[in-house]
Amino acid sequence: MEEVTAMPRSDNDRSDRIGFPTLNSLSRYDLVLAFIPVVFVLSVVLGHLLSVPFRTTLVGASAVGAIALLDALFVNPPIRPTQ
């Protein structure tokens, strides 16, 4: 029988507090996931202010989001916890 290995997990400490996590408890990967929609919103707002076509802003935001995602998955991937 094959041994089942655990999937990589965040390095956040487990907290018994109820509520929103503080900035100190967010991992790098949480911040990357929050960064992607922020880039889209900012690109649409800047595109509107600068009169740039909507498609152009979406292509730019997609490129930035893809780079952030590729960095988080392949350049600096999550590591398995050592025991």
Rg (CA), the chain: 18
Which pLDDT band holds residue 59 (cuts at 50, 70, 90)?
A: very high
Average pLDDT taken over every residue of the chain: 83
Q: Give the single-character DSSP code of 51.
A: T
Angstrom distance (rounded) from CA 57 to CA 70: 20
Global pTM reads 0.67
Separation in Å, CA 33 to CA 8, 38, 69: 16, 9, 8
